[in-house]
Structure 1
Amino acid sequence: MSQSLVRLIKIDKTAAGRRLDQWLAQQCAPELSRARIAKLIGSGQVRIDGKPVLEPRFKPPTGGEVELILPPPVAAKPKGEDIDLEILYEDADIIIINKPAGLVVHPGNGNAGGTLVNALIHHCGQHAAAGFGLSGIGGVKRPGIVHRLDKDTSGVMVIAKNDAAHGHLSRQFADHGRSGVLERRYQAVVWGVPSPPGGIINAPLARDPRERTRRAIARNDAGDVRRAITHYTILRQSAMGDGKAPAACLVECRLETGRTHQIRVHMAHIGHPLIGDKTYGQAFKTKINLLPESVRAEVAAFPRQALLAAFLRLQHPKTGAIMEFTVKPPPDMQNLLQALAL
């Protein structure tokens, strides 16, 4: 099995006042490009004096030592793997699945296999005689992928089986239902109860400057700022609380835009993070003290953000038929709802 290659580079006076990615590219030329080094930095593969540096523009201190970790090469194309899929609908143009929590959508850093793409390649290979394949628009590592769900978010996804279907579906998702029929609704279990009980969160998102894998509410006009709008409605409120307000509620969120971690960031932004969200809800973990002692342990043990892609409406890319798909919460989320009397 291939192992990562580690290079140690002393930081000399040639690095003074220069960006880390720029200086490393010079040190590693021609083997590594500046773009490749920037990706390594962003994925935590570069350390200075033992501490990870995640910002390419960081200016390294003279006299230190850079540890550059080069992951082993991976296959250019994902391989099919026999992974169970819950298929809600399938024809020669699209597949609709109910993605389970814990399943990564496509291969990437740290996830060379065991992804939804690997499962789809295997599934479609078994049905090749029927003309079932996957579109290539998304590239070799994202065949058929029109949209994504976070690893620990479950729910409805559509996959394109050919380029024509992919293009049609991509236009629907880009429009977000403003002029078409596409609609996505999510269900989230959040701490507290938003006020008012329904509203619009209009807050642009950008990459968190302190941690590149996170998103944050944009505070300025940085280059990666993206418009982000979420419509929310309270569905049910927990009977548990401190006597003044319920400890949690079930919220339906409808996306007007589809940004990475949008619902999770937006709900935390208004003070009601998703239960189980270790990335955006850590500052609110004391809210568990509002619950009766008998249910605290079960809620504290919930292993992921409590988020379900519950509903998807779209237009079939070939027939034009309007199709709707609804899924129920998976068992772990049902148990959470029951524990919270939701």
Structure 2
Amino acid sequence: MIRKPPGPRRKPEAARPFSVTEAGELLPYLLDKLAGRGRNSVKSMLARGQVSVNGQTVTAYNHPLKPGDLVSVSKERIDEKPALVGLSILHEDDDLIVVEKEAGLLSISSPREAGELTAYRQLTEHVRRENPKNRIFVVHRLDRDTSGVMMFAKSERIQQALQTNWQEAVKERAYIALVEGSVKKPEGTISSWLKESKTLKMYSSPYPGDGQHAVTHYKRLQSNGSFSLLEVRLETGRKNQIRVHMQDIGHPIVGDKKYGSRSKAIGRLGLHACVLEFEHPGTGERLRFESPIPKAFLNPFRNGFAP
């Protein structure tokens, strides 16, 4: 069999640019500009990464557009997935996604934080690359300035199964906390009833039964005259529980000005979710994920450190 010499390699077609003149959302804009293409076809182009706004690949249908934005549509499928910012995927299956979040990234935005980059928004775009109808669902959250392991569900059924049986499903949930001062007891348990003030700050009520019961166990890992490194395990999962309880025992978390900290020793909040172990709601398999102690948490214990 005689093979013909290969012809000239086809150059990828240039992206088709459009200049935005009115504020709106991306999907309706594309449907207007790409006359003749059906809604599902345009959604698929978004999911495949063929659309960019001002040079950045965008997959979200409701991405906001403003006058002056440049929308480009490529006829070439882009196989490379856009990089996740402040986030890495540790595990993904048909039911859930387990991730490691960096400090500074919101888990999910509130109305006053609308438009900010979040773990939820990025993972939604991630799953919609496979199918534009895919969604993710919040199971639990980490504060913006808390880093570490967390998970999201891929269906409402899995979300409800995890949230309804959270105490039974989660076998271990541990944090590393860098706190101010020298914690004297090598280990201890803090129990209180948490309430939320009108300014949205959590606090321990002086009255038993007044609020949500919260129990935190801690073990001292390292300590010097200025700081202590603790391993913290939650028996309950209340809002800001660890932060309130550390303040209650006189050792606020480093960088936690809201709950009494005066130290900026590491330039961030000294709280990290290091272990999440749970029973998979779909398969029954026990899964465990760990994240190492951030190096910054160890700096205060190195020779020559000046707090």
TM-score class, shorter-chain normalisation, is 0.5 to 0.7
| Contact 1:98–1:156, Cα closer than 8 Å, also in 2 | yes
Measure how far apart 1:265 and its partner are. 0.6
Pair 1:313–1:79, CA change in 2 (3 A): farther
Counterpart for residue 235 of structure 1: 221
Give me the whole-angstrom Cα distance separating, in 2, the residues matched to 1:148 and 1:252.
Answer: 19
Shift of 1:164: 2.3
Give the TM-score normalised by structure 2: 0.67
Instruction: Kindly state the Cα deviation for residue 144 of structure 1 after the two structures are TM-superposed.
Output: 1.0
2:284 paired residue among 302, 320, 334: 320
| Aligned counterparts of 2:114 and 2:62: Cα–Cα separation in 1 | 8
Q: Please tell me whether the aligned partners of residues 82 and 119 of structure 1 are also in contact (alpha carbons under 8 angstroms).
A: no
C-alpha displacement of 1:183: 1.6
The residue correspondences of 1:122-161 to structure 2 (distance < 5 A) are 122-128=125-131, 133-134=134-135, 143-161=136-154
Higher-strand-fraction structure: 2
Contact 1:275–1:281 under 8 Å retained in 2: no
SS in structure 2 at match of 1:203? strand
State how 1:236-255 maps to structure 2 within 5 Å. Answer: 236-238=222-224, 241=225, 247-255=226-234
Q: Which has the larger radius of gyration?
A: 2
Considering fraction of residues, name the structure with more helix: 1
2:123 is the counterpart of 1:120: yes
Once the 2 structures are TM-superposed, how far is the Cα of residue 338 of structure 1 from its aligned partner?
4.4
Aligned equivalents of 2:130 and 2:300: distance in 1? 38
Query: How many residue pairs align between the two structures?
Result: 228
Correspondence for 2:162 among 162, 169, 174: 169
Give the whole-Å Cα distance in 2 for the aligned partners of 1:221 and 1:237.
32
Give 1:260's aligned residue. 239
Q: Deviation string for 1:228-258 (max 9, x for gaps)? A: 11011111223xx2xxxxx211101111111
Q: Does 1:271 align with 2:250?
A: yes
Cα pair 1:78 1:117 within 8 Å, conserved: no
- AA matched with 1:188: A
Tell me the C-alpha RMSD between the 2 structures: 2.8
What is the letter of the counterpart of residue 146 of structure 1? V
On the 8 A contact 2:185/2:220 being kept in 1, the answer is: no
User: Alignment partner of 1:227: what SS?
Assistant: strand
Q: 1:96 aligns with which of 98, 109, 112?
A: 98
For residues 156 and 281 of structure 1, what CA distance do their matches in structure 2 show? 25
Q: Taking every aligned residue pair, what percent have the same amino acid on both sides?
A: 36
Aligned partner of residue 328 in structure 1, secondary structure: coil
Whole-Å separation in 1 of the counterparts to 2:256 and 2:302? 19
**5+ long unaligned stretches in structure 2:** 1-21, 24-60, 65-81
CA 1:78 to 1:318, structure 2 compared with 1: closer, same or farther past 3 Å?
A: farther
C-alpha distance in structure 1 between counterparts of 2:232 and 2:118, whole Å = 26
Give the TM-score, by structure 1 length.
0.60
Q: Is the 8 A contact 2:274 2:292 kept in 1?
A: yes
Of 188, 199, 203 in structure 2, the residue corresponding to residue 216 of structure 1 is 203
In structure 1, stretches of 5+ residues that fail to align are 3-76, 135-142, 242-246, 286-298
Displacement of 1:336 in angstroms is 5.0
